[in-house]
C-alpha cells in the first residue's frame, strides 16, 4: 500500500480499521496457509507451546505464558511482532497511536475536526508496536495507566479538569500494540486490579476523568510458578480475564537443547579459529544440564535455565583458549578436562535443597559431570560386554592394574597431552575403532579413561588443575591403609 500523507489520501486507499487481535489472526492464517516459520529460533516447542500460541492467537485471546526461568517466554512474546502488519497509519503527533479512521484521544479528535482530510498522517513500523514492562513491586498505577500532569497543565494554562493535561501511562501508549508484562506476580495486587477493565471491557479510566478510552491492545503476560509463593501471586479475577494460559517447558530432546546453545552462545571468531570443538562436547554439556534438572539435590521448582548450558559452552571455549594463550600455541582441541571450567557457570544458576547445600555446589557439579560423562561413554559403547572383551580394552585395564598411572594436567601442551594418552597400550586403537570423528581422537581417548573409571575398572582422582588415572585396586588399598592408620 502506498503510504498516504494525509487523512484524505488514506480514505482513497483500501485501508480498513482492524483490531490488533484480528490483525494478528489474519497474518497467522496467511502464514499457516504457506506453512512458513513464525517463531524463528524457538526449539523444542513444535508440538506443545507453539501450537498453543497459534490457537490463542486465532481465538484472539490475551495470553499468559507460565514456566520456569530460561524457557524462552520473553522471546516468544517478542516474536509475535512478526505477525503484525509491516506499517499502520497513525495520526501525526498522537501519543497513543490513534488510528486516523478511528481516533480515540481528544488530541486526535480535535485535530481531525480542525483539519479534516488535511490531517497529517505518519506510519508506524511493526517494531515500534511492541511495549515490554518488567513487573516490580514499585510499579504504580500512574506508570501503567497515567495521571494528571501538573507541568503540562501549567504550560498549557489549563485546569486539571481538562483532558489535555493527562499524562498517559505505558498501557495507553501501547494502543494498537503488543503489551508484555514480564513476571506478572511481582505486581502488587492493587496494581493488578487496575488491569481488570482493560482486559474485560477493553477500555481505560484515568483517575478524575469521565473519559473511557477504548484501547486496542494484545496483552501477553509471563510468570514463573516459583513466584506464586516466593514473591506474590496473580490474583484470581485477573487470571480469569486472561483467556489462554500456556505452560512452557525445557526442551525434551538433547538435540533441541543443543540447537539453542549453538544459537545463543557468544563465541568469538578468534575462539572458533583457534579451538576445535568436538560435537560430543556440546552433548556432554547438554547431558550435564539435563541431569542437573532431575537431580534430587537441586530445587526442581527453581528450575535449571537454558542459560546454564549456554554459559557452560562459552566457558569450555574460554578454558581451552586460556590454555593456548598460556602455552603460546596457535590451535588446540577441547578436552574433557576443559569441562571443569563449567563449574563456575553451575554455582550461580542453581538453587540447592538442604542435602545439596551439605554437598556444596562444587562437589555436586563434579558428581553430575561424572554422571554425564558416563552416559556419553555408554552411548559411544552401546554393548559394554563386547567392549570389555575387546583386547585393546583389556590392555588398558592391565596397564593400570600393573601399577601404572597417568597424570593429565588441564594446562598441558598439546604434544604432552597426546603423548600421555598414547603411552597407554590399546587406548588409541580402541578410540580409532569407535570414535565417530578421528579428527578429535585425543578427546575420545580421554573419554574412554573417564568412562572406565565410572565402571570402577580404573581409578580416578582430582587435585587442583589435574586428573590422575591409576589402579582401582591400588586406590582401594590406599584407603584401607588410611583406615588402619587412623584406627
Range 7-247 classified under CATH 3.90.226.10:
no
Output the CA torsion 130→135→139→142 (10° steps): 30
Q: What is the pLDDT of residue 229?
A: 46
Q: What is the mean pLDDT of the chain?
A: 88
Q: What is the pLDDT of residue 190?
A: 84
Q: What is the pLDDT of residue 108?
A: 93
**With the C-alpha atoms ordered 307, 309, 313, 316, is the resulting torsion angle positive or negative?**
positive
Q: Is the pLDDT of residue 486 over 80?
A: no
Question: How would residue 438 be classed by pLDDT, with cut points 50, 70 and 90?
Answer: confident
C-alpha cell of residue 166: 493527562
Q: Is the pLDDT of residue 419 over 60?
A: yes
Q: Of the candidates 66, 465, 12, 37, which has an alpha carbon nearest to the alpha carbon of residue 245?
A: 66
Q: What is the pLDDT of residue 161?
A: 59
Question: How would residue 465 be classed by pLDDT, with cut points 50, 70 and 90?
Answer: confident
Mean pLDDT of 292-321: 93
C-alpha cell of residue 211: 473519559
Mean pLDDT of 23-30: 97
Strands (E), 19-148: 63-66, 87-91, 121-125, 130-134, 146-148
- CB count in 10 Å sphere of residue 58: 14
Q: What is the pLDDT of residue 300?
A: 85
Q: Is the pLDDT of residue 482 over 50?
A: no
Q: What is the pLDDT of residue 437?
A: 83
Which pLDDT tens digit goes with each residue over 55-114? 999 999 999 999 998 999 999 999 999 999 999 999 999 989 999 999 998 889 999 999
Contact 146, 205 (CB under 8 A): no
For 181, phi then psi, to 5°, come to -115, 110
Give me Rg for the CA atoms of the chain.
31
Which pLDDT tens digit goes with each residue over 125-171? 999 999 999 988 888 878 887 766 666 656 666 665 566 667 788 98
| Distance in angstroms (rounded) separating the CA atoms of residues 234 and 228 | 7
When comparing pLDDT for 124 and 186, which is higher?
A: 124
Mean pLDDT of 111-127: 95
State the CATH class of domain 251-380: mainly alpha
Q: Where in the chain is the domain with CATH 1.10.10?
A: 382-487
Q: What is the pLDDT of residue 301?
A: 83
| Distance in angstroms (rounded) separating the CA atoms of residues 320 and 335 | 8
Q: Which of 230-234, 270-274, 316-320 has the lowest mean pLDDT?
A: 230-234
Q: What is the pLDDT of residue 151?
A: 63
Q: Where in the chain is the domain with CATH 3.40.50.300?
A: 7-247
Q: What percent of the chain has pLDDT above 70?
A: 89
Q: What is the pLDDT of residue 169?
A: 82
What CATH code would you report for 382-487? 1.10.10
Q: Is the pLDDT of residue 478 over 70?
A: no
C-alpha cell of residue 58: 486465532
Model confidence, pTM: 0.85
| Exposed/middle/buried for residue 443 (C-beta within 10 Å: 0-12, 13-18, 19+) | buried
Q: Is the pLDDT of residue 412 over 80?
A: yes
For 184, phi then psi, to 5°, come to -50, -40
Q: Is the pLDDT of residue 450 over 70?
A: yes
Question: How would residue 8 be classed by pLDDT, with cut points 50, 70 and 90?
Answer: very high
Question: How is residue 226 annotated by DSSP?
Answer: T
Q: Where in the chain is the domain with CATH 1.10.8.80?
A: 251-380
Q: What percent of the chain has pLDDT above 90?
A: 66
Amino acid at each position: 500500500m502506498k503510504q498516504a500523507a494525509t487523512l484524505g489520501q488514506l480514505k482513497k486507499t483500501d485501508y480498513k480499521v482492524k483490531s490488533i487481535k484480528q490483525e494478528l489472526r489474519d497474518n497467522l492464517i496467511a502464514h499457516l496457509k504457506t506453512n512458513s516459520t513464525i517463531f524463528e529460533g524457538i526449539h523444542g516447542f513444535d508440538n506443545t507451546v507453539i501450537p498453543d500460541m497459534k490457537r490463542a492467537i486465532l481465538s484472539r485471546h490475551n495470553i499468559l505464558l507460565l514456566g520456569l526461568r530460561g524457557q524462552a517466554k520473553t522471546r516468544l512474546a517478542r516474536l509475535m511482532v512478526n505477525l503484525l502488519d509491516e506499517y499502520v497509519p497513525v495520526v501525526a503527533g498522537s501519543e497513543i497511536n490513534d488510528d486516523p479512521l478511528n481516533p480515540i484521544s481528544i488530541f486526535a479528535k480535535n485535530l481531525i475536526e480542525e483539519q479534516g482530510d488535511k490531517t497529517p498522517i505518519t506510519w508506524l513500523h511493526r517494531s515500534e508496536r511492541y511495549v515490554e514492562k518488567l513487573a516490580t513491586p514499585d510499579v504504580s498505577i500512574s506508570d501503567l495507566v497515567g495521571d494528571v500532569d501538573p507541568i503540562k497543565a501549567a504550560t498549557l494554562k489549563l485546569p486539571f479538569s481538562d483532558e489535555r493535561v493527562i499524562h498517559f501511562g505505558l498501557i495507553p501508549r501501547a494502543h494498537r500494540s503488543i503489551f508484555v508484562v514480564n513476571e506478572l506476580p511481582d505486581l502488587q495486587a492493587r496494581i493488578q486490579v487496575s488491569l481488570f477493565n482493560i482486559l474485560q471491557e477493553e477500555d481505560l479510566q484515568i483517575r478524575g476523568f469521565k473519559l473511557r478510552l477504548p484501547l486496542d491492545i494484545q496483552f501477553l503476560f509471563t510468570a514463573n510458578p516459583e513466584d506464586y509463593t516466593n514473591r506474590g501471586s496473580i490474583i484470581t479475577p485477573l487470571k480469569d480475564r486472561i483467556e489462554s494460559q500456556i505452560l512452557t517447558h525445557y526442551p525434551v530432546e538433547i538435540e533441541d537443547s543443543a540447537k539453542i546453545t549453538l544459537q545463543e552462545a557468544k563465541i568469538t571468531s578468534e575462539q572458533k579459529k583457534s579451538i576445535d570443538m568436538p560435537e560430543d562436547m556440546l552433548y556432554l554439556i547438554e547431558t550435564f544440564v539435563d541431569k542437573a534438572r532431575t537431580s534430587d539435590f537441586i530445587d526442581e521448582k527453581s528450575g535449571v535455565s537454558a542459560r546454564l548450558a549456554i554459559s557452560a559452552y562459552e566457558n569450555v571455549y574460554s578454558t581451552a583458549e586460556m590454555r593456548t594463550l598460556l602455552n603460546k600455541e596457535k590451535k588446540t582441541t577441547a578436552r574433557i578436562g576443559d569441562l571443569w571450567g563449567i563449574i563456575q557457570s553451575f554455582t550461580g544458576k542453581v538453587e540447592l535443597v538442604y542435602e545439596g547445600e551439605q554437598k556444596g555446589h562444587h562437589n555436586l557439579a563434579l558428581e553430575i559431570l561424572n554422571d554425564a560423562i558416563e552416559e556419553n561413554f555408554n552411548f559411544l559403547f552401546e554393548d559394554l560386554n563386547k567392549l570389555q572383551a575387546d583386547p585393546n580394552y583389556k590392555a588398558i585395564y592391565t596397564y593400570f592394574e600393573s601399577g601404572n598411572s597417568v597424570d593429565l594436567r588441564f594446562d598441558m601442551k598439546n604434544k604432552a597431552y597426546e603423548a600421555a594418552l598414547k603411552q597407554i597400550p590399546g587406548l588409541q586403537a580402541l578410540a580409532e575403532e569407535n570414535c565417530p570423528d578421528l579428527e578429535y581422537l585425543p578427546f575420545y581417548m580421554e573419554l574412554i579413561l573417564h568412562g572406565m573409571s565410572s565402571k570402577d575398572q580404573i581409578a580416578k582422582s582430582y587435585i587442583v588443575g589435574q586428573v590422575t588415572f591409576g589402579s582401582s585396586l591400588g586406590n582401594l588399598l590406599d584407603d584401607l591403609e588410611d583406615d588402619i592408620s587412623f584406627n
